[in-house]
Amino acid sequence: MTKTPDSVVRSFIDLHQDEFLRDLADWLRIPSVSADPARAGEVHRSAEWLAERLRATGFPVVEVWETDGLPAVFAEWPSGDPAAPTALVYGHHDVQPAAKEDGWDTEPFEPTVVGRRLYARGAADDKGQVFVHTLGLRAHLAATGRTAPAVNLKLLVEGEEESGSPNFEALVRREAGRLAADVVFVSDTGMWSETTPTVCTGMRGLADAQLDLYGPDTDIHSGSFGGAVPNPAEVAAELVAALHDADRRVAVPGFYDGVVELTDRERELFAALPFDEAQWLRVAKSYGTRGEAGYSTLERVWARPTAEVNGIWGGYTGPGGKTIVPSEAHLKLSFRLVAGQEIEKVREAVRGWVAEQVPEGIRYELTFPGATRPCLTPLDHPALQATVRAMGRAFEQEILFTREGGSGPAADLQDVLGAPVLFLGISVPSDGWHSVNEKVELDLLAKGVEAAAHLWSELAESWPQA
């Protein structure tokens, strides 16, 4: 058999697999639960442990970065080639809380292999997927005969992702110079399934809004005044109902301005995924589908912007009845955004729409507490193509595409660094993130290492020369 780069990578991984798993198990034994103040020391220990392993991997620069909360780990290995692109890998070393009493079959912080699965808190989310890059990088060097990676490689592994990344954006802003990159790879993500490897091409953004509506100065008697004055609870409801038209499109004028529409090719590739709606509904704990006309369920959650009511309240909510016209009512709304939508323009559109909708006699306040930009990489982007080729070499089958309907801290990297965000992950829906019996599939973990090994060569080769 010819010694192709692929066979070298595979041999190298086979050779170092046991050592890799022993090391990963050591890391998984550290209960780095960021949400538990009593375990802050463990999160520090986890950061130091990872820093030490990255040094052992060969990274010439490894630093533990303190924040106002828990520490992140930064590592850097320059390519040496002045034309090489710079890639920043993002992951996190903190984990969700876990205890055997929650219903685990094994001790969550005592990694246990059963068959071809490794059970432990953090096995998939996210230590396993971060650790892929250690052996992956060594295999990359072995297969290419290089002494440094084909790209300028940076790693940023934060310690507070499971606590909502409260200090992440500030850290990224503080260290923007050190973190500068041409492309960001988020390794905190999954694939469609064990048998359908995929690459995620984007995440939706998010704009929160709160609308406070005021009618009478106090609750007033609905017998004396009902039917003759505006009721803020009713107006809140009317606004919510007016948010969508009969086709379930968001009815705020200008909301869809700039939206990057799905291409025919993307729709084809989404449709090629083996989607089982009944199963999806079970996961959603829901009893029916409802969404924008003309789009499939996957297209609705991955690629279409939405307006959602997260909360509504006003008037009497206790037992029995109270015949009042309430004095006030409130709405919490969130808008999921897709590529092409600009947060400030969406807010302006919502402001104008609310001003037009609220009837005379109702005063209101509209606030926008927070927002996250969407990210999307087109199918023909060279970094995405490189990722697909790297995954294809690892899995030896066609790589399909997904997107992520949620919104995450990865967008902070995109926003601050101005770099496109890509996703490289091998977790699958059955891995039990945030749940009991979290695991990672050992065969997929090995495929992830292979893909990471190929990624840097593919990226360097495909990178447009200056």
CB 247, min distance to its own copies, A: 13
Interface residue with its own copies among 237, 259, 273, 442 (CB under 8 A) is 237
Contact call for residue 227 and its own copies (CB under 8 A): yes
Question: How far is Cα 156 from Cα 153, in angstroms, rounded to an integer?
Answer: 10
Closer by beta carbon to its own copies, 4 or else 289: 289
Site residues for its own copies, 403-442, by CB under 8 A, read: 404-407
CB 214, min distance to its own copies, A: 9
Round to the nearest angstrom and report the end-to-end CA distance of the chain: 38
Closer by beta carbon to its own copies, 38 or else 228: 228
- Select the span of 11-19, 98-106, 133-141, 223-231 touching its own copies (CB under 8 A): 223-231
Strands 183-186 and 421-423: parallel
Closer by beta carbon to its own copies, 195 or else 367: 367
CB 216, min distance to its own copies, A: 4
Question: Do residues 447 and 197 touch, judged by C-beta distance below 8 A?
Answer: yes
Question: Do residues 145 and 451 touch, judged by C-beta distance below 8 A?
Answer: no
Question: Do residues 331 and 233 touch, judged by C-beta distance below 8 A?
Answer: no
Question: How far is Cα 391 from Cα 424, in angstroms, rounded to an integer?
Answer: 9
Q: Which of 196, 190, 184 is nearest to 381 (CA)?
A: 184
Interface residue with its own copies among 225, 245, 263, 461 (CB under 8 A) is 225
Outline where DSSP puts E strands in 147-291.
152-158, 183-186, 198-203, 205-214, 220-221
Contact call for residue 236 and its own copies (CB under 8 A): yes
- Select the span of 95-103, 151-159, 166-174, 399-407 touching its own copies (CB under 8 A): 399-407
Site residues for its own copies, 347-386, by CB under 8 A, read: 359-363, 369-370
Site residues for its own copies, 269-288, by CB under 8 A, read: 281, 284-288
CB 91, min distance to its own copies, A: 20
Site residues for its own copies, 141-200, by CB under 8 A, read: none
Contact call for residue 241 and its own copies (CB under 8 A): yes
Closer by beta carbon to its own copies, 145 or else 287: 287
Q: How many residues bind its own copies (CB under 8 A)?
A: 79
Question: How far is Cα 173 from Cα 68, in angstroms, rounded to an integer?
Answer: 14
Can you spell out the DSSP letters for 251-301?
-STTTTTT--PPPHHHHHHHHTS---HHHHHHHTT-S-----TT--HHHHH
What are 214's strand-pairing partners?
328, 363
Closer by beta carbon to its own copies, 8 or else 240: 240
Angle at 49 between CA 47 and CA 55, to 5 degrees: 100
Question: Do residues 156 and 167 touch, judged by C-beta distance below 8 A?
Answer: no
Question: How far is Cα 273 from Cα 252, in angstroms, rounded to an integer?
Answer: 32
Closer by beta carbon to its own copies, 226 or else 352: 226
Contact call for residue 215 and its own copies (CB under 8 A): yes
Question: Do residues 423 and 189 touch, judged by C-beta distance below 8 A?
Answer: yes
Site residues for its own copies, 62-121, by CB under 8 A, read: none
Closer by beta carbon to its own copies, 29 or else 351: 351
Which amino acid, one-letter code, is at 210? Q
Site residues for its own copies, 286-325, by CB under 8 A, read: 286-292, 297, 300-301, 304, 306, 308-317, 320-325
Closer by beta carbon to its own copies, 116 or else 275: 275
**DSSP tag of 196:** B
**From its phi and psi, is residue 248 left (phi > 0), alpha (psi between -120 and 50) or beta?**
left
Contact call for residue 262 and its own copies (CB under 8 A): no
Contact call for residue 23 and its own copies (CB under 8 A): no
Contact call for residue 2 and its own copies (CB under 8 A): no
Closer by beta carbon to its own copies, 148 or else 242: 242
